[in-house]
Amino acid sequence: MIAGATGTLGRAITRALIAAGHSVVAVARAKSRARVEAGVSSVHELDLTTASEGELRGAVRGARYVVSSLGITRQRDGMTPRDVDFGVNARLADACGAEGVTSFGYVSVACDAPPGLSPLVDAKRALERHLAASELAWTVWRPSGFMTDFKEILDAARSGTVYLFGDGGAKTTPVDVDDLASAIAARLDRPREILSIGGPETMTWNDVATVAFAALGAPPKVRHAPMGVVRAALAAMRVVSSAAHVQWSFLSTAATHSTEAERVGGRTLASFFAETARSS
């Protein structure tokens, strides 16, 4: 069973599991049903954010594996990472335990930042602690940054200048979403392990910017935002807009702390940027 089946990663995981020969049940809101991948054995219509304990247990009943990529990077419907990335997933995991599901798999995030910098990272780490304290068999996958998210760097390069948080020296291992999904599908039977998953290359954010300009055939022009200024802006943002603070605190944290992960995927960031530049 896949929770978060209509998101970019959830759909990729669904494809990878079907390709690996699994029978997949997708959980989706009624209004999102059309975004479920073709080939699933069935669709269970349920809004996991409002589901009761009984509804959650009914959704996972009979499943061997439950995989959740459910989470938010941009607040909506008044929900926060603590509500969804931790709260909903914790309740879903508890339902798996109550129904005897073989294993619960959760997509977290690779980031070595200390607590208190990003509500999103904090919520994911809280869910990991919840799993560790349970008797459930679980697997946590911590991916590095998705290549699709790095497209914003390519867009900035196209405009002429890339602005980076801090000195741009933090390391990341950009991973293609389909490579990540295939790695997850191959790592379902890894009980009580936390596994990092990245692409084939580890690079700094300065390197990412350089690769983006190279894909456009343009000379690099990079500017760095001092972290003192960034922290002041985030403090003001927290007061004005909680949703904006969640998004930008995560971006700045991920860009200034290591998100390095095990090199698993095959697609390089250079090839992704080159293909994206040609098609846009």
Closest CA to 68 of 87, 41, 55, 52: 87
Instruction: Indicate the helix (H) or strand (E) that contains 92.
Output: helix 89-99
CB atoms within 10 A of CB 232: 11
pTM of the model: 0.94
Go through the domains of the chain in sequence order and give each one's CATH number. 2-279 (3.40.50.720)
Residue at token pair 């900035």:
156
By the 8 A CB rule, do 261 and 173 touch?
A: yes
Q: DSSP 3-state assignment of 116?
A: coil
Structure tokens at 190: 């890894």
By the 8 A CB rule, do 209 and 161 touch?
A: no
Sorted by sequence, the CB contacts under 8 Å of residue 78 that are 6+ apart come out as none
One pLDDT digit (tens) per residue for the chain, 280 residues: 999 999 999 999 999 999 999 999 999 998 899 999 999 999 999 999 999 999 999 999 999 999 999 998 555 667 899 999 999 999 999 999 999 999 999 999 999 999 999 999 999 999 999 999 999 999 999 999 999 999 999 999 999 999 999 999 999 999 999 999 999 999 998 999 999 999 999 999 999 999 999 999 999 999 999 999 999 999 999 999 888 999 999 999 999 999 999 999 899 999 999 999 999 7
The Cα–Cα gap between 14 and 188 comes to: 13
- Kind of pairing between the strands at 203-204 and 171-172: antiparallel
